Amino acid sequence: MHPALQGILTIAFGVGGCVGYFYISNIILDHLIFPARGKHIARNIRRANIIRPWLFLLPAMLALGLYLAYPVVETLRLSLTERLPGGGSAFVGLDNYQQMLGEDKFWEALKNNFLWLLVVPAGSTAFGLLAAQLTDRIAWGNVAKSLIFMPMAISFVGAAVIWKLVYDARPPGAEQIGVLNAIYVYFGGSEAQQWLTIPFWNSIFLMIVLIWIQTGFAMVILSAALRGVPEETIEAAIVDGANPFQIFFRIKMPQIMGTIVVVWTTITIVVLKVFDIVFAMTNGQWETQVLANYMFDKLFRANDWGVGSASAMVIMLLVSPILIWNVRNARREMR
């Protein structure tokens, strides 16, 4: 069957199925199981109302359970087992973790991930804050914001191509077509550098790609927060003779600290999962490995599900402080 036709059928089936499920299950509940008539009418309506929320929630809970909750448990189990030749698996305790901790590539990935965690959220938030503060003051600020926000819509793979062109190097003597090398040579660099093969700095060059993408996000959120800062506090500071920098750092920053933390943690999560950029640009060569790509390597190239799952659990472990913090905040807000 043609995929497009299959797609249309799936939409029809999915949408029809959903609507049908909700509609029919409600009818069954209201008319067959607990009909709103007869001598138990009050009790029936009450009971129907107790069950109805679960009808509404059922499809979502099934999907969430199967696609997000179950994998967490299953990955934990896989990380403690080993596949046996010919199918089946055996419990091996922490062997997979031990093997992983003994690999240089793992430590390289972990080290790089921590570097990413330091640089990317800081860089994106700082540029986002700068862009938000500056664009709020000028007439064409919205156009400027749109353009800085635009990389948000570009895929990591697309961004990888865009930045590979920026980092491109040509042999000595030839005209440089990568902007970075063109500038480097223009200012007296000896010869074009293969930027993505110089350890340590190549990781920074990959991080720049993610900062470039995430700055727009930070800017949009922080700009809304800056607008929410009460005018009176700023006016009072002006009357007291504060200069613009003091106003920004001493008056505005403290008031939007909560939002800055939110932006920072959101970008942190993106960083922990970063995969496409490294996969497309260096594939972890030249000491640019990160955890998500290490895991993909283990799972689908080495076919080692045990170690792959163990490294996935490491990512989960790194995410969990943020997870717990978010959940606690959400619960406090609901109270």
> Nearest to residue 148, comparing CAs of 161, 133, 160?
133
For 132, which DSSP code? H
Closer to another protein by Cβ: residue 63 or 90: 63
Query: Of these, 28, 101, 122, 161, which contacts another protein (CB under 8 A)?
Result: 161
User: Does residue 300 touch another protein according to CB under 8 A?
Assistant: yes
Chosen residue from 103, 111, 275, 286 binding another protein by CB under 8 A: 275
**Site membership for another protein, residue 126 (CB under 8 A):** no
The DSSP string of 203-255 is: HHHHHHHHHHHHHHHHHHHHHHHHHTS-HHHHHHHHHTT--HHHIIIIIIHHH
Mark 35-71 as b/e (b = at least 16 C-beta within 10 Å): eeeeeeeeebeeebeeeeeeeeeeeeeeeeeeeeeee
Least distance from another protein to the Cβ atom of residue 111, Å: 19
**How would you label 202-218 residue by residue, b for 16+ Cβ within 10 Å and e otherwise?**
bbbbbbbbbbbbbbbbb
Asked if residue 265 lies in contact with residue 281, where contact means CB atoms within 8 angstroms, the answer is no
Q: Which of 206, 256, 296, 297 binds another protein (CB under 8 A)?
A: 296
Choose among 269, 262, 238, 268: nearest CA to 129. 262
Residue 64 touching another protein (CB under 8 A): yes
Check binding of 269 to another protein (CB under 8 A): yes
- Here's the x/- map for another protein, 191-230, by CB under 8 A: it reads as ---------------------x--x-x--xx--x------
Nearest distance in Å: CB 57, another protein: 5
Residues in contact with another protein, counted by CB under 8 A, come to a total of 119
Q: Which of 88, 187, 240, 331 binds another protein (CB under 8 A)?
A: 331
Smallest gap, in angstroms, from Cβ of residue 177 to another protein? 5
Q: What are phi and psi of 137, to 5 degrees?
A: -100, -5
Q: Does the footprint of another protein cover residue 157 (CB under 8 A)? A: yes
Under rule CB under 8 A, residue 158 binds another protein: yes
**262 interacts with another protein by CB under 8 A:** yes
